Structure 1
Amino acid sequence: MDRISKLEKEIIDLRRVLSNKEKELYEIKKEYTQQQANIQIELETQYTPYNNAVKTQYGDNLPKWAVESSIIFLCLHIAGEIGIVDYDAVELTNIHRQILHGEGDQHMSKAESAAQTLRSINSRITITPYNVQLASSNAMDIASRYDVVLDCTDNVPSRYLLNDLCVMSKKPLISGSALKMEGQLTVYGYRSEKNTNEKDAPYIGPCYRCVFPSPPPPEAVGSCSANGVAGPVPGLIGCLQALEAIKYIVGHTHGQLLVERMLLFDGEDSSFRTVKLRARNPQCAVCSENATISQLVDYEAFCKAQAKEKKKQEARLKSERRKQEKEKRMTGQSYYGFRVTKFADTKKWIQDVPKSERRIGPACTSEFCAKGTARFCSHFTEDQRQEIFSYFWNSLDWKGKKNYVRGLVDSVPPKRRRLKHKGEVSRKGDSKLYHLYNKDERQPVCRLMFLNTLGIKEAMVRCWLIKEDKPKSPKKPVKSLNVDSYIDNLPKEPTKCQYCLNSGCNIMYVCLDVKSQHQLYNKYTKDMKAKNIAPASRKTFSKVVLKKNVRIFKPKNDTDVCDLVAQHNVLPSLGYQNLQKNELENQNVSINYYYNAQCGPNIDPCVTPIVISSSLLQTVDLNLHILPPESRILPDQLAGKVNADLNSKRRHLLVDVRSEPEFNMCRIDGAVNCPIDNLHGARFEQLLERIRNCNSEVTFICRRGNDSQIVAKKVLEAIEDEHRSKITDLTGGLHAWSKHVDPNFPVY
């Protein structure tokens, strides 16, 4: 009867477990049902094809929105494992576009932070972060654990590395990229033998080397950090990467995937198009039958470019890690020590040797110490020894520890115990007498008791006793002194731009035949060596030049008088060179320019070059009154004349002098673009000739009506009298046009 009762109880428990498992299975099926319907997967195949592993490789490359959008959708759609490779740490400037990280994740590994977020989204899958830089030495080991690789990098060495890695491991590479307003997506290295749905002959798609056999010149390659990218573009490419990965995992054929095809997205007009790529190259160096590359190589040397743009940041992180490990070592915690690797004649120090934490050792059990009267080892209890150990490692800094040990160890002349050696000079330099504090009383103990109580080794004690701490003398700025005197003695002159002078600019220009600071530094080194004086470093030289506000004049055109603000080079012809600051105020001329508010105290913001970037910018519009009223035209008057010319054979010439990007953003129908910065030399003569041939009026247009006045004034001075009457300027520019003529016209 007992056995029957036991079996009945076990059956009840099993039924309860089965019921819980059925509920869990129902919830999982419910979660994935909509995904199955969308990509037409039979219910019974849901858990087999989705149980795949996906590795995502990214550094500070294809912007993290792309990477993170692809990872999030993969996390929601697969039931296997996702690996994330990233060597970088989270910074506050990343968070606005990297949606897997938060403000509390600063200084945390991006791979670890992303993994934590993904686990909170889907706890049923495995997320493995790799906080390393993917390189030839570790790539094969990491990729061997996964079935699909997503390439989210934007540097050429990493792309060639991932391509060769996937070809050698026979895995598909889903490659995405984005720059500015454009994005691209394709699949490299597809193999039909791994897909049971492929009914045709065995098929192998082209790899990255088939399309790009050799890397481009480094100077021809752009990157997101240098050229910028619109955030939604990489986000879109990342979502499409996830879609291609899911399609591959569930068994779509190469005709349904982006194999031998590249998807191109243009954010300017939100258009998609697909272009055909060249087929697999039978002479490819890595994927052909007679491949010449059989192992991963040094891709930075092959591409003559760096695989990551954060060398300085990596060095900083490495330095910070060393400081952290050093702090752990000094406080008795476990830490990582160094080992030396030798390659040819070079040595490399690697910090990866685990060192255990400091522990208190056993007390002295010597009968000699217990019976003798010269040592007090037996007088110390375990609590006293633990108190000494804790005080030594927790209360003292490193210098305090050294002084503490030096105060407890005495050096005395060595004693000769054997009579036959009495009077001879010992090879031993001295003997050590060790002590410990017992209730503020310094009592002698044996060497073993001293070392075990403090948890240190004899070698450390001898090192501390030999090397006394000496105060470091501050470095004397000897080298920078000759740079100061050298810069002071150079022939210099102030700027020729009256606007910069009126704004209080104190920049001095070097009057030498040099084109750059590099040439000036070379001249400095030659002059110093001729005097047998050691020259300062380039870094020191640059700091002194910046501190003294000295520049090399770098004009874009022969007629330029200012290399700081481009607009200043067309203003002297307007008769402003003799205007003083109070005269400018009387004419209601506000001269403030785009400037970087973070430029620092050593740079005058009024003379900083025009910069339009993601930094904090400030602008105050010019309000110039250059042309007389008869040479200006109101917006409603211009609209009437343009409409009248449309009904006749005459054509009103509208000349928009804004930059090309601004012109492409919005413009009046029929206007032509002649950017103010390009109106010199042959291009200015072409504009004059076009005005001479115009049979109607010519109106110059800009955003606010300031640059257009400058150009109109310049044209009026250069063109013949017979054509001057047809030249006008739009008062108020496009802002006035939007206000008085077309309320739907976009302004900025």
Structure 2
Amino acid sequence: MDIVCKLEKEILEIRKKLVCKEQELLEVKEKMGTAQINSKNGCDLDKRNSLKVQFGDSIPKWAIERYSRQILLPDIGVRGQENLMRGKVLIVGAGGLGCPAAVYLAGAGVGEIGIVDYDTVDITNIHRQFLHTEKEANTSKAESAANSLRSINSRIKVTAYKIQLDSSNALEIASNYDAILDCSDNVPTRYMLSDVAVIAKIPLISGSALKMEGQLTIYGYRGQGPDDEPGPCYRCVFPRPPPPEAVGSCSANGVAGPVPGAIGALQALEAIKLLVGHARDKLLVGRMLIFDGEDMSFRTVKLRPRNVQCPSCSENPTITKLVDYEIFCSAQANDKDLNLDILPPENRITVTELAGKLTGDVSEKRHLLVDVRSAPEFNMCKIDGAVNYPIDDLRKDKMDALLTEIRKCTSQVTFICRRGNDSQIAAKRVLDVIEDKHKNKIKDLTGGLHAWSKYIDHDFPVY
């Protein structure tokens, strides 16, 4: 296996060098000029120049050939293609939304694309994030996406930002671009990008996807002329952040790959329309597109109008600089594993301790394993003997049934989830209502099933 990893790493390095050399070759050719004539044709450069062939207003031959299918559209044309080739778009997130958006922007010939992503490629990403391959596992998402885009279109500039965008760097980076695509997956980043868009006067094309649903709109639109009515910002529509527990994520709730694919592609289309110069009524300003993959329906709903007293985008804003958005939203600005610590040590147990107890317990019924993941997760994989009580269902009847089982248990009760966070929350709910005599047998599995896979059963899947 070591030699395989070594060879894969060497191949990846060679590919990166090849991309750099191709870009270098392209720059040299452009400096030399593209009008070199093969001597076999019996025509020299002077004769070629005497023909005075005109390639559009300022579009070179290669661009006409490459982008002709979209230049043919009256909505784009030569002037629109010129705008695209001069355009600069920042994509925040090289994931399920960012990958398809980036592909279509690169294909359309957008002159410069910036890609921001702090994360590395994981095998769970690839079912929807198709700029990455298996060989890029554990490498930078931003670099992986940038290299793929350069292989798609060597004529454009692609900049990879291998950082987490935050209040200290967002404005400086975003100010170099004409439009921002919010392809993130968390609320703090959405508020931050909205404020960035307003302060820097850059339109924000915001997409989201979860399970079988997707949404798309444009925030912070300021129009092309004095009579072009401004659109709302994110704060106009959502003045207050939602409770953290009410916000889902792809890692926790799942997503069908084509859903972010569709929304990401439409984000690219809106960016192209913006750069080309489409009017407000042709853009998703003040409107939100909602896609339901279950019944394959699209509908557009009207958003709240711009709030004339908005703290961010009004004529007299109170938010004139970026703040700490994790504090404002009481949530993380990334999808890294949380490490909740809400139970005392006496109510927690390590995977090693649990494995020892299960091995030494001759009666499985004596030790109660309560798995609080969703039913689909539980059906994917579970520890033998566990029972499923999804945390989202722990209300009156289900909670009463669980409390009854716990009271009957003569040994230990261990709460389990994927990472050791939801299990703590569920255990805390039980500890708050159950009688004192039962509290000492209630435990939470520290690190959850991820730790179980790492330290006990290496064949147990991590997702």
TM-score normalised by L of structure 1: 0.42
* 1:113 pairs with 2:144: yes
Return the match for 1:608 from 386, 399, 412: 386
Return the match for 1:219 from 226, 237, 245: 245
* 1:153 pairs with 2:179: no
Asked if structure 1 preserves the Cα contact closer than 8 Å seen for 2:288 and 2:303, the reply is: yes
Distance in 2 (alpha carbons) for counterparts of 1:226 and 1:101:
21
Distance in 2 (alpha carbons) for counterparts of 1:142 and 1:548:
52
Q: Match of 1:33?
A: 68
The alpha carbon displacement at 1:312 in A equals 7.7
- After superposition, the C-alpha distances for 1:703-733 in whole angstroms (9 at most, x for unaligned) are xxxxxxxxxxxxxxxxxxxxxxxxxxxxxxx
Asked if structure 2 preserves the Cα contact closer than 8 Å seen for 1:170 and 1:191, the reply is: yes
Q: Secondary structure at the match of 2:159?
A: strand
Q: CA distance change for structure 1 residues 58 and 79 in 2, over 3 Å: closer, same or farther?
A: closer
Q: CA distance change for structure 1 residues 305 and 210 in 2, over 3 Å: closer, same or farther?
A: same
Distance in 2 (alpha carbons) for counterparts of 1:151 and 1:18:
49
The alpha carbon displacement at 1:50 in A equals 4.2
The alpha carbon displacement at 1:75 in A equals 0.6
- After superposition, the C-alpha distances for 1:153-209 in whole angstroms (9 at most, x for unaligned) are 1211000110000100000000000111111000001011xx2xx5x7142110000
Asked if structure 2 preserves the Cα contact closer than 8 Å seen for 1:262 and 1:274, the reply is: yes
Q: Secondary structure at the match of 1:607?
A: coil
Percent identity reads: 52
- After superposition, the C-alpha distances for 1:602-651 in whole angstroms (9 at most, x for unaligned) are xxx54134699xxxxxxxxxxxxxxxxxxxxxxxxxxxxxxxxxxxxxxx
Q: CA distance change for structure 1 residues 213 and 595 in 2, over 3 Å: closer, same or farther?
A: closer
Alignment of 1:10-21 (within 5 A): 13=45
Return the match for 1:310 from 336, 339, 346: 336
The alpha carbon displacement at 1:542 in A equals 2.8
Letter matched to residue 235 of structure 2? R
Count the aligned residue pairs: 338
Letter matched to residue 295 of structure 1? K
Asked if structure 2 preserves the Cα contact closer than 8 Å seen for 1:49 and 1:251, the reply is: no
Q: CA distance change for structure 1 residues 564 and 40 in 2, over 3 Å: closer, same or farther?
A: same
The alpha carbon displacement at 1:563 in A equals 5.9
Q: Match of 2:231?
A: 205
Distance in 2 (alpha carbons) for counterparts of 1:308 and 1:166:
20
The gaps in structure 2 that reach 5 residues or longer are 1-42, 360-364, 372-377, 402-463
Q: Match of 2:89?
A: 54
Q: CA distance change for structure 1 residues 70 and 103 in 2, over 3 Å: closer, same or farther?
A: same
Distance in 2 (alpha carbons) for counterparts of 1:262 and 1:12:
57
Q: Match of 1:279?
A: 305
Return the match for 1:521 from 340, 346, 350: 346
Letter matched to residue 55 of structure 1? L
Q: CA distance change for structure 1 residues 166 and 300 in 2, over 3 Å: closer, same or farther?
A: same
Distance in 1 (alpha carbons) for counterparts of 2:80 and 2:255:
39
Letter matched to residue 42 of structure 1? G
Distance in 2 (alpha carbons) for counterparts of 1:45 and 1:95:
33
Distance in 2 (alpha carbons) for counterparts of 1:309 and 1:28:
40
Q: Match of 1:728?
A: none
Q: Match of 2:254?
A: 228
Asked if structure 2 preserves the Cα contact closer than 8 Å seen for 1:595 and 1:608, the reply is: no
* 1:268 pairs with 2:294: yes
* 1:69 pairs with 2:100: yes
Alignment of 1:410-559 (within 5 A): 518=343, 521=346, 541-543=349-351, 545-549=353-357
Distance in 1 (alpha carbons) for counterparts of 2:238 and 2:121:
33
TM-score normalised by L of structure 2: 0.65
The alpha carbon displacement at 1:91 in A equals 2.6
Asked if structure 2 preserves the Cα contact closer than 8 Å seen for 1:79 and 1:124, the reply is: no
Distance in 1 (alpha carbons) for counterparts of 2:351 and 2:384:
21
| Alpha-carbon RMSD | 3.5
Distance in 2 (alpha carbons) for counterparts of 1:250 and 1:13:
35
Q: Secondary structure at the match of 1:292?
A: coil
* 1:92 pairs with 2:98: no
- After superposition, the C-alpha distances for 1:323-374 in whole angstroms (9 at most, x for unaligned) are xxxxxxxxxxxxxxxxxxxxxxxxxxxxxxxxxxxxxxxxxxxxxxxxxxxx
Q: Match of 1:664?
A: none
Return the match for 1:295 from 316, 321, 332: 321
Q: CA distance change for structure 1 residues 21 and 73 in 2, over 3 Å: closer, same or farther?
A: farther
* 1:183 pairs with 2:214: yes
- After superposition, the C-alpha distances for 1:100-139 in whole angstroms (9 at most, x for unaligned) are 1122222221111111111111111111111111011111
Q: Secondary structure at the match of 1:127?
A: strand
Asked if structure 2 preserves the Cα contact closer than 8 Å seen for 1:85 and 1:129, the reply is: yes
Q: CA distance change for structure 1 residues 519 and 176 in 2, over 3 Å: closer, same or farther?
A: same
Q: Secondary structure at the match of 2:285?
A: coil
Q: Secondary structure at the match of 2:104?
A: helix
Distance in 1 (alpha carbons) for counterparts of 2:176 and 2:52:
32
Q: Secondary structure at the match of 2:163?
A: coil
Alignment of 1:312-461 (within 5 A): none
Letter matched to residue 170 of structure 1? K
* 1:131 pairs with 2:159: no
Distance in 2 (alpha carbons) for counterparts of 1:519 and 1:46:
62
Letter matched to residue 213 of structure 1? P
Distance in 1 (alpha carbons) for counterparts of 2:204 and 2:45:
48
* 1:78 pairs with 2:109: yes
Letter matched to residue 43 of structure 1? V
Q: Which has the higher contact order (CA 8 A, sep 6+)?
A: 2
Between structure 1 and structure 2, the one with the greater Rg is 1
Distance in 2 (alpha carbons) for counterparts of 1:520 and 1:48:
61
Distance in 2 (alpha carbons) for counterparts of 1:120 and 1:54:
18
